[in-house]
Amino acid sequence: MKPENLLFDADFNLKVADFGFAAPTVGKDGSMQVHTKLGTESYMAPEIHAKKPYTGPCVDIFAAGIILFIMITGHPPFSKAVPNDNFYKYICGNREDIFWRSHSNNKPGGANFFS
């Protein structure tokens, strides 16, 4: 995340902006579905990696979650949101306990780093 992508509004609310991959959220055909593979792979939602149609706001929220995770931990939650990624595999397999325990290693407070 580049500093120029972090903005504040008049009330000092943080805004994250990056328009390098901006696209209409209604899709090219007006169906509200986007079919283009846009963005940085490590921030892409699983449906983009799977080459499925997606809605812009939903994948933006996914990317925002990745950004927040990095802001808290200093590293991404996984390399890519694909089933064969080791950390993402824990989430897909309903093994969030292993995911959080693995990410708590070497953190201040250990297992209590994430509440």
Domains and CATH numbers, the chain: 3-82 (1.10.510.10)
Count other C-beta atoms under 10 Å from residue 26's C-beta. Answer: 13
Question: pLDDT tens string for the chain (115 positions)?
Answer: 555 677 888 998 877 776 666 666 666 666 778 877 877 899 999 999 999 988 888 888 898 899 889 988 989 999 999 999 999 999 999 999 999 999 998 888 877 888 7
Query: Which residue carries 């499925």 as its tokens?
Result: 52
Q: Which amino acid is at 107?
A: K
Amino acid making up residue 93: G
Q: Which helix (H) or strand (E) holds 56?
A: helix 56-73
| Those residues with Cβ within 8 angstroms of residue 23's Cβ, 6 or more apart along the chain or in another chain | 34, 36, 38, 56
Per-residue tokens: 77: 């939650």
**Taking a C-beta distance cutoff of 8 angstroms, is the pair 44, 59 a contact?**
yes
Q: Are 48 and 54 in contact (CB under 8 A)?
A: yes
Q: How many CB atoms lie under 10 A from the CB of residue 8?
A: 9
Joined together, the tokens standing for residue 108 give: 């201040």
